[in-house]
Amino acid sequence: MITVAALCLYAGKGATQSTTVTNPVLAGFYPDPSVVKVGSDYYLINSTFAYFPGIPVFHSNDLKNWKQVGNVINRPSQMNFMGHRMTRGLFAPAIEHHNGIYYVTCTLIDRGGNFVVTAKDPAGPWSDPVWLPEVRGIDPSLYFDAGKAYVVYNSDAPDNKPLYPGHRTLRMYAFDYVNLKVTGEEKILVNGGVDISKKPVWIEGPHFIKRNGWYYLYAAEGGTSVNHSEVVLRSRSMEGPFIPYEGNPILTQRHLPADRKHPITSAGHAQFVEGPDGNTYVIFLAVRPYAGDFYNTGRETFLAPVSWKNDWPVVDLRGEEIAYYYTANYKEVPQEGARPQSGNFEYEIRFDKELDPSMLFLRTCDSSRFSLDKARGLTLKLSPETCMGTGHPTFIGKRQQHLYCQAETELSFATTADHEKAGLIIFQDEKHFYYICQSADQGKPVIQLFKSNPEAERMELLTQALLAPGVKPVRLRIQASGDYYDFYYTSKPDRWSLLQGNLDATFLSTRVAGGFIGCVFGLYATASEKNTTSQASFKYLRYRGDDPMYKK
């Protein structure tokens, strides 16, 4: 049973239509959301770090039903992330629209810095990046006002002399949106955060909104973990001075009991948007741990209503806790052909035409390594690279979107070489994964289960089982149950054998692995640093989510 009460929002009396929204609206590893409204259309983007393609673009007409229509970084010629660890790469993009042009700003951490890309259609194609070397920091966001544009971002402490760890500033340049470059001088808008005497940390993810003659500058504070929050300041001028709201933070869950049922934590990194009913809503990130601060689904995208109090925006949760459901007074608009993204759902991807835009590669895409066919499905060429390095192994994945779920595939693969492996991986990063695969042991076919070794660039065999000679295909399944995973295989329909169960899921949690990403189920084939001409075919990827908070 869900313990959090449903939220009811009413734009006016006499309403005849309503929409029930389920949180998160994008389940799984969809962090750092940014949203823009253009007419009756909404477009939302997220961080992808070192996964490729980068920065998914979702479309909606009701803030509930989202369909991925493309990716901002979808050509290796635009950008690749070779040599980056998975939790580096692209940080915190932001999307804006002006005079028929869409703009995305983002940070390529460790290399290149901040950039802007443009498109006439948010589904793409997007331009090659234009770099902004003067913008030194992270989380750049554009704001258009009265024919002018500005870029606001997180940066260093004044004079690069922090008063305490996590001391940052919010800064701004005027921006030439035609020639895509900053102009004028940099201005510091906020030093430290809401109250520098309290040593606030990591003021970041800034955005502007204007209402009733006020410029509101709002941003995340407290870091992106359990102390995450959203704060707001305002001024009559874009350049300040900015006065903080006395009731800050306007969104956080850090003050709530840790032992509450089905908690939602770490809320922040928000952006306001006008809903179809004319009311204000907020898109933000938060997480759903299965215990303590342990979660494998990454930071997800949530939505909540906003109330205006004395000309201040306050996230109106109608209680202390972020709700899993609320009802809004406007018409639901389904997205034709969209894959489900919220609540409990299931799907099956058949690899007979083109890859689903949500499928992920590690760091770049080499189209010569895979092919799609109605009869065979997805055929992968084994490559020497492994997922333990920072190169481009043969890996195509899909996000884990539930705490309780299972992923399954049908594999056709034959080898007598023990270094050749193909199968299904649950992958957090280069040092944290489990891998169930078909391989060989002394020339005999086997199903093996490996666990990565965080201290070395190798993986350790946990167990294996012999297959009958000539058996093909085999099915592989990984089942997540909160804090543990089970691994199954079969060569006969519906007669699954448990290879090994109760493997520690916290090993794949963001808290243990560190960084900012979530787990991905991957179809992965490797020759373990040797050359080969072998191939493996995957008929489908089947997924089913079964989280308890959605069971009534």
Catalytic residue numbers read 32, 204
Report the alpha-carbon distance of residue 546 to residue 548 in Å, rounded.
Answer: 6
Report the alpha-carbon distance of residue 101 to residue 254 in Å, rounded.
Answer: 38
- Bridge pairing between strands 229-235 and 243-244: antiparallel
Computed from CA positions of residues 178, 182, 187, 191, in that sequence, does the dihedral angle turn out positive or negative? positive
Report the alpha-carbon distance of residue 129 to residue 347 in Å, rounded.
Answer: 34
3-class SS string, 275-311? CCCCCEEEEEEEECCCECCECCCCCEEEEEEEEEECC
Report the alpha-carbon distance of residue 487 to residue 385 in Å, rounded.
Answer: 24
Taking residue 32's Cβ as centre, other Cβ atoms within 10 Å add up to: 28
Report the alpha-carbon distance of residue 236 to residue 189 in Å, rounded.
Answer: 13
Report the alpha-carbon distance of residue 146 to residue 153 in Å, rounded.
Answer: 20
546: nearest Cα among 397, 349, 406: 406
- Bridge pairing between strands 113-119 and 101-108: antiparallel
Q: Where are the alpha helices (DSSP H) in 93-239?
A: none
Query: Number of helices (H) and strands (E), helices first, in the chain?
Result: 1, 40
Is residue 194 within 8 Å of 179, Cβ to Cβ?
Answer: no
Angle at 390 between CA 386 and CA 391, to 5 degrees: 65
3-state secondary structure of 232: strand
Report the alpha-carbon distance of residue 33 to residue 30 in Å, rounded.
Answer: 7
Give the DSSP H/E element, type plus range, for residue 143.
Answer: strand 138-145
Report the alpha-carbon distance of residue 532 to residue 48 in Å, rounded.
Answer: 31
Report the alpha-carbon distance of residue 500 to residue 502 in Å, rounded.
Answer: 7
Report the alpha-carbon distance of residue 441 to residue 464 in Å, rounded.
Answer: 9
3-state secondary structure of 506: helix
Structure tokens that stand for 77 in this block: 């010629």
- Bridge pairing between strands 325-328 and 7-8: parallel
Report the amino acid identity of residue 538: F
Report the alpha-carbon distance of residue 465 to residue 442 in Å, rounded.
Answer: 13
